[in-house]
């Protein structure tokens, strides 16, 4: 290996590893280093597409953007996409390798480790520094013999490790001390610094805790990172409860209400961030009554369309969506949600759920979906061509990406407009369907463009006599710089540099 490495591990899940890794990628990029992110194994249904049509976890795509480079499958060679019932689809080196139960998956550890080792080796030969993110906690002793993402990676490349803990959860001293106590001597020797993350309040009031932790563990605390308010980095998986509450904007009268069905296997949650930035009230809902009063209802993407459609029916959400459409709400289906809006879903080869299956859809679009084994993963440029009846403006331009199995075609019964024209490389084709106030398509990131979102917001505002929210032209580059600045000011970067050297 030629590149230097720095690894971020945590005392548990959701302690801020992904954000710290993204911030460090940005910091080192700003210092002039060619830096790349890496995470051996990710478990998330939030995926992104590389320029060559491969999949990787959303967090590594964010970190690559923070580093100023395009994402590659080498940055996340193993992506596990949970399907429920103890099974996950395994995406290996950017391509689906099948669906497995956990025990069967771990039986292939040797092959999986070879993929990890090869991907990391390619990154290290192409960059000056690789910022590596762990997963969960390295102290999960029941998983130690199957580890391919935490200390096994650190030992492989003899990487210095920063161990982060979330003080907002409480018990930060015990979390750090307990994690270090459960590591082997070789593993513990690689932990060169501790990070207290997500601290609220006056930093001086924390003293002498950092010194006490350093004295007890023998590892210095290299920084206390504050809680970063209104964080806009794309989420690795679910949305934290605190942010979800803020999205609802409770107590603010007269706001446009956006209801997103919280499917059990929901994916690509960042599709809805533009609505929040525009100032709408966005809620994730599970009960039919929660759709009452919604001006926009969105059925999102999912890892298992037919199973989640049946879940909706079991709760009466199918009827609630139909009632919302009848009273004039805009109903949107994205990816799997688009498939659900049609008349029928056929899965003759078990591509969606593992066994041959079929299920009537919601019947709000004259469409039929047939699932196939082939998975579509591509980035696209889009132009709205037939959405005027649904509130979109024909000619609006945007960009997005597709990750789906299946093809959705008109049934020939009823009338509907083709929604989008998509360009990917030299190919141009159509996607999506609009029928009155109901529309759907396969494109994730559809609403990231204010050119697409603002006409929809204006249309809904006029329909329901609301003040129109304003779609924001949001700069992720500015957000990467903001987060990097906060982390840089919070860490002893001289000490971090010495660790790497």
The residues annotated with a catalytic role in the active site are 335, 444
| CA dihedral over 161, 167, 169, 175, signed as positive or negative | positive
| Pairing status of strand 344-347 against strand 357-360 | antiparallel
DSSP letter (8 states) at residue 234: P
Tell me how far apart the alpha carbons of residues 138 and 140 are, in angstroms, rounded to a whole number.
Answer: 6
Which residues lie across from 129 on neighbouring strands?
4, 35
Q: Using the CB atoms, write b or e for 152-186: b if 16+ within 10 Å.
A: bbbebbebbbbbbbbbeeeebbebbbebbeebeee
Which residues lie across from 410 on neighbouring strands?
367
Tell me how far apart the alpha carbons of residues 353 and 337 are, in angstroms, rounded to a whole number.
Answer: 16
Place of tokens 């082939």: 374
Q: Which strand ranges, in their side-by-side order, compose the sheet holding 129-133?
A: 35-38, 129-133, 4-10, 161-166, 191-199, 221-226
Tell me how far apart the alpha carbons of residues 189 and 161 are, in angstroms, rounded to a whole number.
Answer: 9
DSSP letter (8 states) at residue 491: B
Q: Which of 248, 45, 78 is nearest to 153 (CA)?
A: 78
């Amino acid at each position: 290996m030629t590149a230097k490495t720095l690894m971020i591990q945590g005392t548990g899940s959701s302690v801020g590893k992904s954000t710290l890794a993204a911030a460090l990628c940005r910091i080192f990029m700003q210092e002039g280093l060619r830096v790349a992110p890496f995470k051996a194994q990710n478990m998330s249904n939030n995926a992104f597409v590389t320029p060559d049509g491969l999949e990787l976890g959303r967090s590594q795509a964010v970190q690559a953007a923070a580093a100023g480079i395009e994402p590659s499958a080498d940055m996340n060679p193993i992506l596990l996409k949970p399907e429920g019932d103890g099974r996950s689809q395994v995406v290996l080196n950017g391509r689906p390798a099948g669906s497995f139960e956990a025990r069967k998956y771990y039986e292939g550890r040797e092959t999986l480790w070879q993929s990890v080792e090869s991907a990391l080796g390619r990154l290290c030969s192409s960059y000056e520094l690789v910022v590596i993110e762990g997963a969960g906690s390295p102290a999960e002793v029941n998983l130690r013999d199957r580890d391919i993402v935490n200390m096994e990676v650190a030992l492989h490349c003899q990487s210095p490790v920063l161990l982060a803990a979330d003080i907002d959860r409480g018990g930060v001293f015990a979390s750090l001390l307990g994690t270090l106590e459960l590591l082997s001597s070789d593993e513990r020797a690689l932990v060169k610094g501790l990070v207290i993350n997500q601290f609220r309040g006056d930093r001086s009031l924390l003293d002498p805790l950092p010194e006490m932790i350093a004295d007890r563990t023998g590892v210095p605390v290299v920084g206390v990172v504050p809680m970063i308010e209104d964080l806009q980095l794309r989420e690795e998986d679910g949305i934290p409860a605190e942010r979800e509450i803020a999205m609802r904007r409770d107590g603010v009268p007269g706001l446009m209400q956006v209801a997103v069905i919280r499917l059990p296997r929901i994916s690509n949650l960042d599709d809805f961030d533009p609505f929040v930035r525009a100032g709408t009230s966005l809620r994730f809902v599970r009960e039919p009554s929660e759709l009452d009063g919604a001006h926009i209802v969105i059925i999102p993407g999912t890892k298992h369309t037919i199973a989640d459609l049946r879940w909706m029916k079991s709760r009466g959400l199918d009827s609630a969506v139909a009632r919302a459409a009848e009273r004039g709400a805009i109903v949107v289906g994205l990816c799997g949600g688009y498939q659900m809006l049609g008349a029928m879903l056929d899965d003759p080869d078990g591509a969606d759920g593992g066994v041959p299956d079929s299920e009537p859809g919601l019947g709000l679009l004259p469409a039929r979906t047939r699932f196939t084994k082939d998975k579509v993963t591509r980035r696209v440029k889009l132009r709205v061509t037939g959405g005027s009846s649904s509130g979109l403006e024909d000619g609006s331009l945007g960009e997005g990406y597709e990750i789906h199995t299946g093809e959705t075609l008109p049934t020939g019964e009823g009338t509907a407009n083709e929604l989008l024209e998509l360009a990917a490389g030299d190919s141009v084709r159509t996607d999506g369907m609009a029928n009155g106030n109901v529309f759907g398509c396969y494109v994730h990131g559809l609403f990231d463009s204010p050119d697409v979102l603002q006409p929809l917001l204006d249309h809904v505002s006029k329909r329901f006599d609301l003040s129109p929210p304003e779609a924001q032209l949001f700069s992720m580059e500015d957000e990467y710089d903001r987060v990097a600045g906060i982390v840089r000011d919070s860490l002893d970067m001289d000490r971090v540099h010495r660790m790497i050297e």
